């Protein structure tokens, strides 16, 4: 897991060959105020989901992925992420190849991270995470989630 701000994005270009393209497209989403939707950049190897939503109460549903790395980037608003290790969780839904997700309930240690505009979190397949955690009342968020094939 990596937590940082867009001013440091270049530090992570060497982590994966598609990270530069992911961050460049996210900048385009910001600059051109692209509408919510799914945008294919490199076919199934890299796509970006853009969404706008009002944060609700944290349902406590954690997830992990098998085929994709998530770059979750806050464009507008602020939210928090809960993060933990798989060994701290109880599996509530086994890994589903179609959705590229396994679901969990956290039973143990948990890290809470706040993210504002320009902040991002990179979650690798082993990183169990619970995004979209509410900070305050009535917070509307616009977020880009780059899905980068491992």
**pLDDT tens-digit readout, 37-46:** 999 999 999 9
CA-CA distance, 120 to 41, in Å (whole number)?
Answer: 19
Q: What is the mean pLDDT of residues 18-40?
A: 97
CA-CA distance, 56 to 33, in Å (whole number)?
Answer: 24
Q: Residue 39's pLDDT is what?
A: 98
List, in sequence order, the alpha helices (H) in the chain.
19-32
Q: Residue 18's pLDDT is what?
A: 98
Q: What is each CA distance from 40 to 52, 126, 148, in whole angstroms?
A: 18, 24, 11
CA-CA distance, 47 to 35, in Å (whole number)?
Answer: 15
Is residue 3 over pLDDT 70?
Answer: yes
Q: Residue 55's pLDDT is what?
A: 83
Length of the chain: 150
Q: What is the mean pLDDT of residues 89-113?
A: 92
Which residues does 86 contact at the CB level (< 8 Å), separation at least 6? 64, 104, 126, 128
Percent of the chain with pLDDT over 90: 77
The residue ranges of every structural domain in the chain are 2-149
Q: What is the mean pLDDT of residues 131-149?
A: 87
More confident residue, 87 or 39: 39
Q: With bands split at pLDDT 50, 70 and 90, how would you rate the model's confidence at 138?
A: low
> Which CATH entry fits the domain spanning 2-149: 3.40.50.720, 3.30.470.10, 3.40.50.1370, 2.60.120.370?
2.60.120.370
Of 150, 103, 99, the C-alpha closest to 124 is: 150
Q: Residue 132's pLDDT is what?
A: 85
135 neighbors 55 (Cβ within 8 angstroms): yes
């Amino acid at each position: 897991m990596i937590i940082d701000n867009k001013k440091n994005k270049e530090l992570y270009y060497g982590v994966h060959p598609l990270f530069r393209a992911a961050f460049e497209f996210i900048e385009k989403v910001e600059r051109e105020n692209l509408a919510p939707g799914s945008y294919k950049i490199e076919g199934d190897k890299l796509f970006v989901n853009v969404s706008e939503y009002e944060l609700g109460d944290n349902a406590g549903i954690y997830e992990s992925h098998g085929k994709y790395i998530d770059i979750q980037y806050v464009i507008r608003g602020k939210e928090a992420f809960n993060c933990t290790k798989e060994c701290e969780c109880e599996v509530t839904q086994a890994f589903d190849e179609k959705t590229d997700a396994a679901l969990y309930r956290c039973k143990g240690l948990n890290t809470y991270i706040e993210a504002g505009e320009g902040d991002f979190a990179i979650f690798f397949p082993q990183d169990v995470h619970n995004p979209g955690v509410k900070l305050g009342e009535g917070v509307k968020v616009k977020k880009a989630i780059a899905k980068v094939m491992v």
